[in-house]
Amino acid sequence: MRPRRTSATGTLALLPVWAVVIVAYLGTIAWTVVISFTASKSLPVYEFVGLAQYERLFRTSRWLVSVENILIFGSLFIGTCLVVGFLLAVALDQRIRAEGAFRTIYLYPYSMSFIVTGLVWQWIMNPALGVQATVRGWGLEGFTFDWAANRDMAIYAVAVAGVWQASGLVMAILLAGLRGIDQDLWKATKVDGIPTWRVYASIVLPLLKPMIVTAVVLLSVAVVKAYDLVVALTRGGPGIASEVPAKFVMDNLFERSNIALATAASTVMLVSVLAALAPWLYAEYIRASGARAA
Amino acid sequence: MSKPIQSQPIQFKPVTSRLIRGLFAGAALLAMVVPASAEPKAEVIHWWTSGGESAAVKVFAEAYGKAGGTWIDTAVAGGENARSAAINRVVGGNPPTAMQFNTGKQFDDIVAQGLVNDVETVAARDGWRDFLPKPLLDAVSRDGRIYAIPVNVHGQNWVFTSTKAFEAAGVKPPQSLDELVPALDALKAAGITPIGHGGQPWQDGMMFNAILLAKGGQDLYRSIYADKDGEAVRSEAFRAVVDYYGSLRGYVDPGSPGRHWNDATGMLISGKAGVQFMGDWAKGEFKAAGLTAGEEFGCFVAGPDYMIGGDVFVLAKTDDPDQKAAQELLATTLLSPEAQVDFNLIKGSVPVRPDVDTARFDVCGQTGMERLKDEGRQIGNPEMLSSADLVGSTRDVITEFWNTPDMTTDDFVEGFVEALEIAG
């Protein structure tokens, strides 16, 4: 065992951090949860109404649409970003010429904020301004590409814009991973005559697992907080077709002076994220440390 | 300077005494500044940041200066942002002198929490109750006391027409809602977008409410937004309004969803679209493009009743006599006839007092002022009659209906009743 003095010093040094974590993070989370059980409107009041806000939340069709949308957006966004990012990384890993230029081009969208991304794609997919208007101007009258203004396609429009923006990031992370793979491995598989696709699927991908986890975590964070992209691209419309939970929270928090409902919605978001993370946390930490102890 | 201190700790002393001397000097300076601030100083939070708006608010600032006060301008872009900034400062114990809200329920909570000074002293002295239109007086009063300073009236159920578009279609611009549909058909036949509509939820809602007031009448409108009566929503009259509203969906262009209101006004200016349902602030866009009311563009109020909204200033709670004096001077100044006329001419709205000179207002402004004199024919917008929460929840239903052609009138009615129940 280490000398006790060191750990006391360490604890002391960490005190400010703990204070910040407990007050600024856990404290505000707890306060948010408390407010969600009250009847607060534009100001917090401590008049408790039990689960009334949650009941209302799940009677509100806009919230239900938001939840459905975030599931569609989340799975499409993360899935497509991973596939596209991986393929781009593999393509760049072929020792091609001007690799640096391509890398910059693919990563470039990531340097733009979601607001800019959203606006650009809004113009592209707006039937009166974008690709549709241009192609029809060339004489192809039947051409239709109106995703930003089409309520059945609006959430996919958001996903397309998101994928365009974030694929480059996945590419950069996975490319770094690919470069870290031992060249001897490739030589060995060549000697054994294993097809290249099989090497990627069975050897390279498992080796890239830490990178993929990193990418998934970063993309998931973007999904949960998806707000600016939607506001810039569709404003949640047409109608309520592309609403997302974060926008529901923001609208109720500010425009509608309904902070109790907003905090109830954000509590549901928090619980869902925790529920999704729980199996992974369990596998990574609790089971692992249990195994170590045994 | 830090080097000798490090080597010779004894030199701390002069530094300390210098510090003390500095503090004294600062205090003396402060003492000199304090008497100068005895003249009323008002910090005002508002969201008037666009070109026309900031020109309008400058009128107030100058009038306040002339009256002997100092106007400290705290402009925050965006109504929601400005309101939450103001409320945060009030809750945080550092309130501004006055803060802007929309006429209506937005400041209910801070009045109920006792964070606001009333305006009774000035209102009684200047006789506000004698000239303020009744809906406006009701909207700024809580339990018989006036808690806000109304500064303008925006009419929200206007229909604007593009003379250019109607000339191209070869028909006369409509002058009332009854003439609307045939005129729209003529525009459609001529290949012009009939309704220049910005497909954002608040604009969908504003158009619906204008039609509800015009076609359903003031009683139906009131029983829905003021009394939250579910039976009124289930009535035949309401269903007729929904059907009429739904029938207008065919007159907008596919690029409408998400469009800003001023871009829609731009379509009327260039003659690409024929009519727009919008509040009277759209006049600002027409004027900025050099168009004249009654010539290059026309305007009429949808229906016999006038739906009003507007802006108010609310005075934060304070016991400081200097701040109270500043607040009283502010209340008097903002409602003075000169400031009212000058401000509203630029803002595109009409004065809250009908007793001012109307000669300088354009045709649309004259109509608005006429409507404002007839108390029986004016009613607050939904924001004035019900909570932001209820307005938002019903708006969700309206915008969903507008954008979903296969949504039936029954679905709309049920959704609307549900919204009234859960957000009431």
Angle of the A209-224 helix axis to the A154-179 helix axis, nearest 10: 150
What phi and psi values does residue A111 have, to the nearest 5 degrees? -75, -5
Quickly state the pLDDT bin for B30 (edges 50, 70, 90): very low
Size of interface A-B (CB pairs under 8 A): 101
CA atoms of B179 and B254, how far apart (whole Å): 24
**What is the model's pLDDT at position B77?**
85
- Which tens digits make up the pLDDT trace of B187-235? 999 999 999 999 989 999 999 999 999 999 999 999 999 999 999 999 9
3-class DSSP state of B76: coil
| Averaged confidence pLDDT in chain A | 88
- Which tens digits make up the pLDDT trace of B102-118? 988 888 888 988 999 99
Asked if B414 is an interface residue toward chain A (Cβ–Cβ < 8 A), one would say no
What phi and psi values does residue A44 have, to the nearest 5 degrees? -70, 125
- Average pLDDT of the residues in B358-363: 86
- Which tens digits make up the pLDDT trace of A140-155? 888 888 888 888 999 9
Residues of B numbered 105-134 whose beta carbons fall under 8 angstroms of chain A's beta carbons: which are they? 106, 108-110, 113
- Which tens digits make up the pLDDT trace of B62-97? 999 999 999 999 999 888 889 989 988 998 889 999
Closest CA to B212 of B421, B10, B413: B413
**What is the model's pLDDT at position B50?**
77
Model ipTM? 0.81
- Which tens digits make up the pLDDT trace of B121-161? 999 999 999 999 888 898 899 999 999 999 999 999 999 99
Say whether pLDDT at B9 is over 60: no
Q: Is the model more confident about A140 or about A172?
A: A172
Distance from CA of B326 to the nearest CA of A (A): 26
CA separation, residue B14 to residues B119, B131, B291 (Å): 54, 67, 72
Distance from CA of A278 to the nearest CA of B (A): 33
- Average pLDDT of the residues in B6-35: 47
- Which tens digits make up the pLDDT trace of A221-266? 999 989 999 999 988 878 899 999 999 999 998 888 889 999 999 9
Q: Which residues of A touch B106 (CB under 8 A)?
A: 42, 257
**What is the model's pLDDT at position B3?**
37
The closest CB to that of B258, out of A61, A148, A251, belongs to A148
With CB atoms and an 8 Å threshold, state whether A235 touches B400.
no
CA atoms of B367 and B17, how far apart (whole Å): 72
Say whether pLDDT at B296 is over 90: yes
The closest CB to that of A240, out of B80, B255, B400, belongs to B400
Distance from CA of A184 to the nearest CA of B (A): 55
**Topology annotation, domain A62-293:** MetI-like fold (1.10.3720)
Residue of A nearest to B253 (CA): A128
Q: Print burial letters for B288-307: b (CB count within 10 Å at least 16), e (below 16).
A: eeebebeebbbbbbbbebbb
Query: What token pair was written down for B243?
Result: 């059907």
Residue of B nearest to A41 (CA): B109
Percent of chain B, pLDDT > 70?
91
Say whether pLDDT at A13 is over 50: yes
- Average pLDDT of the residues in B385-409: 92
**What is the model's pLDDT at position B35?**
43
Query: What token pair was written down for A183?
Result: 């060249």
DSSP letters along A159-171, please? HHHHHHHHHHHHH
CA atoms of B233 and B417, how far apart (whole Å): 7
- Of A58-67, A243-252, A256-265, B360-369, give the lowest mean pLDDT range: B360-369
**What is the model's pLDDT at position A294?**
47
CA atoms of B180 and B172, how far apart (whole Å): 11
- Average pLDDT of the residues in A58-72: 93
Asked if B92 is an interface residue toward chain A (Cβ–Cβ < 8 A), one would say no
Spatial neighbors of B148 by CB under 8 A, at least 6 apart, are B101, B103, B107, B119, B139, B140, B312, B313, B314
For chain B, domains (ranges, CATH) are 41-154+309-378 (3.40.190.10), 156-308+380-423 (3.40.190.10)
**Residue A264 and residue A57 in contact, taking contact as beta carbons nearer than 8 Å:** yes
Say whether pLDDT at B38 is over 80: no
Spatial neighbors of A170 by CB under 8 A, at least 6 apart, are A81, A82, A84, A85, A86, A88, A89, A215, A219
- Which tens digits make up the pLDDT trace of A186-223? 889 889 888 988 889 888 999 999 899 999 999 999 99
CA atoms of B273 and B371, how far apart (whole Å): 27
The closest CB to that of A43, out of B109, B255, B401, belongs to B109
- Average pLDDT of the residues in A35-49: 89
The closest CB to that of B87, out of A42, A62, A252, belongs to A42
| Domain residue ranges in chain A | 62-293
Q: Which residue's entry shows tokens 């509040």?
A: B279
Angle of the B236-247 helix axis to the B388-403 helix axis, nearest 10: 50
With CB atoms and an 8 Å threshold, state whether B254 touches A239.
no
Q: What is the pairing mode between strands B154-155 and B193-195?
A: unpaired
Say whether pLDDT at A32 is over 60: yes
Residue of B nearest to A241 (CA): B400
Q: Which residue's entry shows tokens 């909207």?
A: B139
Which residue type, as a one-letter code, is found at position B311? D
- Which tens digits make up the pLDDT trace of B243-294? 999 999 999 998 899 888 889 999 999 999 999 999 988 888 888 888 988 9
- Alpha carbon A64 to chain centroid distance? 19
CA atoms of A159 and B402, how far apart (whole Å): 24
**What is the model's pLDDT at position B13?**
43
Dihedral-angle region of residue B158 (phi above 0 means left; psi in -120 to 50 means alpha; beta otherwise): beta
**What is the model's pLDDT at position B21?**
56
With CB atoms and an 8 Å threshold, state whether A255 touches B415.
no
3-class DSSP state of B208: helix
Q: Which residues of A touch B387 (CB under 8 A)?
A: 41, 257
CA atoms of B227 and B213, how far apart (whole Å): 15
The closest CB to that of A129, out of B255, B403, B415, belongs to B255
Residue of A nearest to B424 (CA): A56
Quickly state the pLDDT bin for B179 (edges 50, 70, 90): very high
**What is the model's pLDDT at position B4?**
39
Residue of A nearest to B421 (CA): A56
Half-sphere exposure of B227 (CA within 13 A, CB side): 12
Distance from CA of B172 to the nearest CA of A (A): 27
| Averaged confidence pLDDT in chain B | 87
Q: Which residues of A touch B422 (CB under 8 A)?
A: 56, 59-60
Distance from CA of A136 to the nearest CA of B (A): 14
CA atoms of B332 and A14, how far apart (whole Å): 57
Asked if B253 is an interface residue toward chain A (Cβ–Cβ < 8 A), one would say yes
Q: Which residues of B touch A241 (CB under 8 A)?
A: 403
Spatial neighbors of A84 by CB under 8 A, at least 6 apart, are A163, A167, A170, A171
Say whether pLDDT at B34 is over 60: no
Quickly state the pLDDT bin for B36 (edges 50, 70, 90): very low
Closest CA to B337 of B315, B352, B325: B352
With CB atoms and an 8 Å threshold, state whether A122 touches B389.
no
Say whether pLDDT at B20 is over 80: no
**What is the model's pLDDT at position B187?**
95
**What is the model's pLDDT at position A270?**
93
Say whether pLDDT at B6 is over 90: no
